[in-house]
Structure 1
Amino acid sequence: MQQHHPSHSQTQNKMAPKNLKILTKQCYHHLTTNALFLIIPAALCAAIINLDHLYHGSLTTAAILTLCASLAYFLRPRKVYLVDFTCYRHDRAFLTHRDAIREKISGLLSPESFAFSTKVIERTGAGDETFIYGLRDFPPKSSFACGREEAETVLCGAVDDLMAKTGVEAAQIGVVVVNISTFNPVPSLSAMIVNRYKLREDVLTYSLGGMGCSAGLIAVDLAKRLLQVQRNSYALIMSLECPTSSYYIGDDKSKLLSNCLFRMGGAAVLLSNRRSDRRISKYELIHSSRTHRGADDRSYKCVFQEPDKEGALGITISKDLPAVAGEALKANISALGPLVLPVSEQLLFLATLIGRKYLNMRGLAPYVPDFKAAFEHFCIHAGGKAVLDAAETSLKLRAWDMEPSRMTLYRYGNTSSSSVWYQLAYAEAKGRVRKGDRVWQIGFGSGFKCASGVWRALRTIPPNEVDNPWIQVIDHYPISLPN
C-alpha cells in the first residue's frame, strides 16, 4: 500500500502555531525582564525637562544625596568570590565492589537484615563500585580511631590539593569552617586544620556538627557573613563525611538505611572578599538561603540519631523523609524564588495564585516556575535515587539538568554535604560552564533543613584547565541508568 507523506507546506503549517507560541513567550519574557530599563530612562528625561520646577535649595539636596551615596558605598555588602575548590581524590585502595560489602556484612547481620540491606544497596542509585574506608578490617576495633583516620585522610587530601592549586598562604586565611555530621572529635577538625597548616593565632574557626547534608551550604552562608566584617581575607571551608565511625550493626531497618547510602568523600572550598581576586576566581556568590523546619515535630524527627532496643546507636531515617524534604524545598524556593526568577516567571506564578485563591478557579493547576530560566546548572544533593527523582519532578528538570547529580550518586554514593561540589566538578570536567552561567546548589539535611547557594561563573572554564577527580574518567560518562 502506498504511504501518504505530508508535503513540506503542510509540515510548515503545523509548525507555525508552535513557533508563534514560542516567539510570543520569548517576547513576553524580554519585555517583563527589561521593563525597568525602559521606565528609568523615561523617568530621567521627565526629571530633566521639569528641572526648572525643582526645589531651589539644590546645594542642600546635593549634600544629602552625596552623604546617602557615600553611606551606601561604604555599607554595601562585600562581594564574595569562590577562588577555587577541590574534591577529595579517592585512593583506588578504597574502591569496593558490592560483592565485597555483602561478604563483610553477611556474618554481622541477621539473615533478614542482610537481605534488606542488599536490596537497598541495589536500589540507591549508586554503582557497583563505590569508595569505602576501612572495609578490609571491618568492623574496626575502635570506630573512633577509624573515624579519625578517615577524617584526616579526606580532609588533608582535599585541603592539600586546594592550597597547591590556589597558591594561597596559610597566613592569609582568616576564617575556617568545617562541617561533618556524626564524627566530632576533640580537638575539633577545624583545630586539625590550624595545627597541620600552622594558621595564624587570630583565625576564626568553626566546626559544624550534626547538621546533616545541608551543612556544606550552611558553611558557605556562615563564611559569607564572616567575610563581611573581615577586610581582604580568605575563608577556607571543608565539607566531609566519615560514615565508617557511625556504622550501625543491628536489626532496625530504619537505621540500616544509612549504612547503604553514605560513603566517604569531602570537598575544600576557598572564598575571598578581596576585589583583586575577582579576575582569578571561578564564581561569585550571588545568594545563599537557609530554611529550617525544626519547629515541626515530623521534620525534626525524620532523621534522628538514637539507640535501638538493644542499645546500638544508629541514625533513624523515617519514611516521611521524601515528603519532609519536599516541604523544605518548597519553603526554600518561596524565599529564594523572588531573588532569582525573572519577572516574567514571577508574574505568571502570581497570576495563577490569584486565580486559584481569590477567583475560585480551582481547575487551574498551580504554576510551577521554570527554574531553567534562572539557572543553567543544577547541583542537587545526591541523597539517593528517590530524592533526585522527587526533585526532578518538582522542579520540572530535564535529564541533562540532573546528570551531574545522578552521575555523582552513581560513582561516589551519598557523600553528604560534599556531593554538590562533586557535581559542580562534573559540570566543569564536561566543559559545560560558561562565563555568566548561574549555578544552583541545593542541600537537604537533618533538623530538617534545606539550604541553597547561587553562584555566577566569572569566566568560561575549559576542560583542559580542569583538574578534579572526574577528569580522567569523564569520557565514560554519562552512564545509562535503569529506571
Structure 2
Amino acid sequence: MAPTGEQHLLSTEIVNRGTEPSGCISFSVRVRRRLPDFLQSVNLKYVKLGYRYLINHGVFLAAVPVLVLVFGAEVGRFIREELWPKLWDTTAGYDLVFVLVTVAVFIFTLSYYLFSTPRSIYLIDFACFKPDDDLKVTKEEFIELARKSGKFDEASLEFQKKILESSGIGDETYVPKTIGLPENISTMKEGRAEASMVIFGALDELFEKTGIQPKDVGVLVVNCSVFNPTPSISAMIINHYKMRGDILSFNLGGMGCSAGVIAVDLARDMLQANANNVAVVVSTEIVGYNWYPGRDRSMLIPNCFFRMGCSALLLSNRRRDYRRAKYRLEHIVRTHKGGNDSSFRSVYQEEDPQRFKGLKISKDLVEIGGDAIKTNITTLGPLVLPFSEQLLFFSTLIKRYLSGTIKHEHGVTTPGNSSEQLPSPSSSSSTKPYIPDYKLAFEHFCIHAASKTVVNELQRNLGLSDANMEASRATLHRFGNTSSSSIWYELAYMEAKGAVKRGDRVWQLTFGSGFKCNSAVWKSVRLMEKPSANNPWLDCIDRYPTEAFSHSSQV
C-alpha cells in the first residue's frame, strides 16, 4: 500500500497480554487519536520561508508592470510635449535617436515581462475510475475474504475487524477479489492486471471527456508507490495507447499518498519548459499486489484502509485552452522531512519475521505527520491568506516570540527532541496563538481521506467546519483510502454537488511516507453547472452527507 499519511490515521501500539486460559492469544490496541496542535508552537523559519517564496515569485512580476507604466508615461510625455508640437513646426528638428531608444526600451521591457511571466497551467478535466459492482465489498465481506484466504489467524482477523469499525469506511468500497485466494497474489501478473484495469479505465474516460487523442499528449507522469514493474507503468500506458515516440514520460515510485501533488508539480515544470503542450498525470495504488498476508498488526493496518482507485487529469499550457479549462493552477508547496531519521522510517517497507513484505508503521507517526503538515501550512499561509489574517497571525507570532513563549529554531524539529517549545499553561493564557482562518483563503478543501481520525484532527486543528470536511469524509466512506488519487475523488464529489463556482479556490492537502506533506491550490475558471456523465458519484450523491457525518467530528 502506498506509504502515506493514512498511517496517521492511527498510530497504533500493539500490546500482547499473553495467552488466555482458552489458549487464545489476547491483545489490546492503544490508538493515539490526536495530532499535535499545529499552531501552539510555530517554527519561525517556515514563516520566513513562506514570505521568501512570496517575494521571489511576486516582487519581480509586481515591479515590471510599474516599469512599463513609467516608460509608457515617459513616451506619452515626450509625444505630447516634444514630438507632437514639432510635427507642426517643419523648421524645428527633434532627436530621432532619443525617440527610437525610448520606444526600444519600452518594447524590450514589455517583451521581457511577457516572456518572464510563467505560463498559466490549466486543468482541462479529470477522471476518477469507478470499479465494477462485482468488486464492491462490505466490511463484513472484507473480513470473510480475509478469512477465506487462510492467511490470518482469528486474532489477526479480530484486529482487522476492530480497525474497520472505527475507520470511517463504508460498505461500498472496492477490492480485488483475489485477496480471498489462498495462494500468493503479490505477483507481477496480478499487479499488471489490476493496474491495467484501473489505469486504462481512468484514461479511457479522460480521453473521451476531453477529446484529446493519446498521440497529442506531450508529457506523461505516473505515480504508483509500491508496484513498480519493468518496463514501468508509464511505458505500459505508452504501449497500450501507442503514444508518440518523443513523449516526455516519468514514473514516480515509493512516494506515498502525497505523490499526486508531486506528479502535478513535475508536469507543471515540464509544461513550463515545453510550450504549446498538454500533459497527462495518472495517480493510483495497486491493492492486491500490496496485500500483506502476515500477522504483524502494525503491518495489517494498510490492508484495512486501502481500496482500489485511480485518477487521470489533463493539464495544458496552451492559452487557447483557457475557455474549456476547469481550473488554473495557482500554487504548489512541498515539504519533505526525510532528512530526519525518525521521519524517514516512520512508514517503512520491510519484511516481518515470516519474510512477508509490509509497511512498518512507527509509533511516532502521529507526531511526525503533524510536524510535516504544520510546516507545510505555515509556508503556504503567506501565499494564500488575506493580508488581514497575515497581519493578525504575524503580530501574534512576534509577540509570543518576544515573550519567550516560542523559540526560534535553526535546526530540524524531531519528535521528542524539539527546540520548538510548547507554551506553558501560564504563558499560553497570556499570549494565546492566533489561528489563521483558512476559510477566508479557500472555498473548498480536499484533504487526503486517510481515516476518520485524521480528518477529525485536521478539522480541529485548522478550525474548519463539517461542510469543509464533507468531501473528505464522503470519499473515505464511499471509496475508502485510494491513496494519492483520493483528493480527486473529493473534487469530483464537490462537482457532483454543484458546489464549485467560477472564481472559487480549492486547496488540496496530501501527506505520506518520507515523511512528506504537499499542497496544491487551484482556482476555478468557469462555472460547472452540472457534473460530467462519468462522475463516479452520480449514482449515490443524493445519499451524502450521511447521518453518520453529524457525529464524525467527535473524536
Question: TM-score range, shorter-chain basis?
Answer: 0.7 to 0.9
Residue aligned with 1:239, SS: strand
Query: Which secondary structure state, in structure 1, belongs to the residue aligned with residue 446 of structure 2?
Result: strand
Structure 1 partner of 2:159: 116
What amino acid maps onto 1:380 in structure 2? I
**Code of the aligned partner of 1:69:** L
Shift, 1:359, TM fit:
4.2
2:185/2:288 contact within 8 Å kept = no
Is the Cα contact below 8 Å between 2:218 and 2:246 reproduced in 1?
yes
Does 1:238 find its partner at 2:279? Answer: no
5+ residue gaps, structure 1: 1-36
**One-letter identity of the residue aligned with 1:153:** M
- Match 1:406 to one of 473, 476, 480: 473
Counterparts in 2 of 1:48 and 1:285: CA distance versus 1, 3 Å: closer
**Could you tell me how far apart the structure 1 residues matched to 2:461 and 2:178 are?**
37
Q: How does 1:447-462 map to 2 (within 5 A)?
A: 447-462=514-529
Match runs of 1:237-386 below 5 Å: 237-359=281-403, 362=427, 363-386=430-453
* Higher deviation after alignment, 111-120 or 438-447: 111-120
1:137: Cα distance to partner? 4.7
Separation (CA, whole Å) in 1 of partners of 2:532 and 2:223: 28
Cα-to-partner distance string for 1:137-184 (whole Å, 9 max, x where unaligned): 524544222211111100010000000111001221000001011111
The separation in 1 between residues aligned to 2:486 and 2:181, in whole angstroms, is 25
Kindly indicate whether residue 125 of structure 2 is the aligned counterpart of residue 80 of structure 1. no
* Distance of 1:192 and 1:83 partners within structure 2: 24
Partner of 1:426: 493
The one-letter code of the counterpart of 1:130 is: T
Say which SS state the counterpart of residue 538 (structure 2) adopts.
coil
Shift of 1:464: 5.2
CA distance in 2, matches of 1:101, 1:248: 14
**Could you tell me which residue of structure 2 aligns to residue 21 of structure 1?**
none
CA shift, 1:388, in A, is 0.8
Residue in 2 that maps onto 1:93: 134
The Cα shift of 1:318 comes to 2.1
Are the equivalent residues in 1 in contact too, given 2:206–2:313 (CA < 8 A)?
A: yes
Query: What's the TM-score, normalizing by structure 1?
Result: 0.86
Matches of residues 130-145 of structure 1 in structure 2 within 5 Å? Answer: 130-135=173-178, 137-144=180-187, 145=189
The 4+ residue runs of structure 1 with deviation greater than 6 A are: 56-59
What is the CA–CA distance in structure 2 between the aligned matches of 1:291 and 1:232, rounded to whole Å? Answer: 30
Q: Deviations over 1:35-68 (max 9, x none)?
A: xx9xx99xx99x989x89xxx9887566444323
Does the CA-based 8 Å contact 1:352-1:367 persist in structure 2? yes
SS at match of 1:157: helix
Q: Which residue of 1 aligns with 2:35?
A: none
RMSD of aligned residue pairs (Cα, Å): 2.3
2:86 alignment partner in structure 1: none
C-alpha change, 1:334 and 1:119, in structure 2 (3 Å) is same
* 1:199 corresponds to which of 243, 249, 256: 243
Counterpart of 1:371, as a letter, is Y
Cα distance change on mapping 1:140 and 1:133 into 2, 3 Å: farther
In structure 1, what is the Cα distance between the partners aligned to 2:404 and 2:283? 48
Secondary structure at the aligned position of 1:269 is classed as: strand
Paired residues for 1:9-24 under 5 Å: none
Q: Is it true that 1:478 corresponds to 2:545 in the alignment?
A: yes
Whole-angstrom CA distance in 2 between matches of 1:463 and 1:319: 45
Residue 115 of structure 1 aligns with an amino acid whose one-letter code is E
Amino acid at match of 1:111: E
Counterpart residue identity of residue 121, structure 2:
V
The one-character-per-residue Cα deviations of 1:6-46 (angstroms, maximum 9, x if unpaired) are xxxxxxxxxxxxxxxxxxxxxxxxxxxxxxx9xx99xx99x
SS at match of 2:469: helix
Q: SS state of the match for residue 196, structure 1?
A: helix
**Counterparts in 2 of 1:60 and 1:468: CA distance versus 1, 3 Å:** same
What TM-score, normalized by structure 2, do the two folds share? Answer: 0.75
- Tell me the distance in 2 between the aligned counterparts of 1:328 and 1:124: 23
